[in-house]
Amino acid sequence: MISASIIAVGSELMRGKMDDTNSTFLARWFESKGIKVINRINVEDTVDAIRRGVELCSNADIIISTGGLGPTDDDVTRDGFAAYLGVDLVFNEDSWQDIVKLFIKRNYPMAQSNKRQAFMFKNGHMIPNSNGTAPGLYYKSDNKLFILLPGPPHENKPMIVDSVYRLLNESGFIKGAINSKVFRIYDSGESTIADLFSSVNNQYFDEIGYYFSNEGYVELHFRKYSLHDIVDSKEFIEAYRVYLHLLEINAIYYTENKSISEIVFNKLHKSKMTITFAESCTGGAVSAELVKNPGVSSVFNGGINSYSNHVKSHILGVDSKILEKYGAVSEETVREMAINAVRLFESDISVAVSGIAGPDGGSEEKPVGLVWFAYYINGTVIAEKEVFNGDRVRVIQRTTNRVFKRLSQLI
């Protein structure tokens, strides 16, 4: 299988002042073309750092970089690659004239420093850039392809999907497929899943990966490298069904690779039911998650952020005596919240949440992370509680995910 290395050049990336979205885009794009990414690194804006980065990544068939092709003194990516390749950089008059024409067209003043953008590898080639002044470069050596692209995403993305794709295709580097199936697992960690799957003697998939998403679930990836697209073949499906069966018999909740709120939205829409949320500790996060889905107005009547006890009692209508006796974080309170929310918003279903997201406010009886849930559905209230680990953001996130997980089971 053809392999690729991705090098993102920029001291701002090394210092964490900017996110490396270029490498993420490239990694996904390469996978879609059946090319396996084996290295992905960031290097600072020095010739030696770039040279060493290329050397480190030279075990791949394709070495591609983003950034460092501009007109300033720290734009030295071409110099670093030239140092590794042992080739000279030569001035390309045609490229320079293209740059001059672009400056004239945009009515920009022309600084002579822009000439450095017209240098290319001797016996190499330029890659046209329709959205900026810095063209890309490529060079072939020892059956390897070295590709240099500018850093701005609005410039390099069109170059990748057009010029780079044609270059790879014409050079014979696109010759396979990475077949991948993705699922989302909730309320279980990577180590739990790994232990569970260790009982399976995998002789089919080339890779089974578990990756924790910042949205609070684990992504489960099944990958098979092939010359053809086999993702929906009987053999491929039967192979991953073995693992899904293990999740099912161990009561581990999973979905296909779509948001859990989308699943709930589709169920509500199909059932022609409406919903409302009465939120306390989540502060609107549950409602915000549902409204990410287009067309949500057909199922979502509205919600209330009843964060304070005053709002819970005076607007949502929770009996003040219940709040005084049991507290805001209690079964009795969330039951009242759910019942009154249905009445207030004239919905078929309601969900109420109240908890202690932290980091302060907990006690021995009611620790940080305690959340009470109430689901009003079909005239019945189901109350549940959970104690979540993690910081404030994680507790809110896990509470939101739990709401949609349970709704997908109850509707």
pLDDT at 146 over 80: yes
Quick one: which of 402, 397, 345 has its CA closest to 372?
402
Distance between CA atoms of residues 343 and 407, nearest Å: 19
pLDDT digits (tens, 9 = 90+) for 352-385: 999 999 999 999 999 999 999 999 999 999 999 9
pLDDT at 242: 97
Cβ–Cβ under 8 Å, residues 326 and 332: yes
Q: What is the DSSP secondary-structure string of 83-124? A: HHHT--EEE-HHHHHHHHHHHHHHT----GGGGGGGEEETT-
- Rounded to 5 degrees, what are φ and ψ at 333? -70, -45
233: number of CA atoms within 13 Å, CB side?
Answer: 12
Cβ–Cβ under 8 Å, residues 151 and 67: yes
* pLDDT top residue among 181 and 107: 181
pLDDT at 176: 75
Quick one: which of 403, 410, 376, 369 has its CA closest to 287?
403
Q: State mean pLDDT over 1-27.
A: 95
Q: Which tokens is 304 given?
A: 């209330």
User: What percent of the chain lies above the pLDDT cut of 70?
Assistant: 100
The residue assigned the tokens 């948001």 is 259
pLDDT at 210 over 90: no
Spatial CB neighbours of 201, under 8 Å, sequence gap ≥ 6:
none
User: What percent of the chain lies above the pLDDT cut of 90?
Assistant: 84
**pTM exceeds 0.75 for this model:** no
Cβ–Cβ under 8 Å, residues 217 and 185: yes
Residues in the chain: 411
Taken in order of first residue, the domains within the chain and their CATH numbers are 3-170 (3.40.980.10), 177-256 (3.30.70.2860), 260-410 (3.90.950.20)
Q: What is the DSSP secondary-structure string of 141-209? A: ETTEEEEEE-S-HHHHHHHIIIIIHHHHHHTT----EEEEEEEEE-S--HHHHHHHHTTS---S-SEEE
pLDDT digits (tens, 9 = 90+) for 244-298: 999 999 999 999 999 999 999 999 999 999 999 999 999 999 999 999 999 999 9
Distance between CA atoms of residues 167 and 356, nearest Å: 56
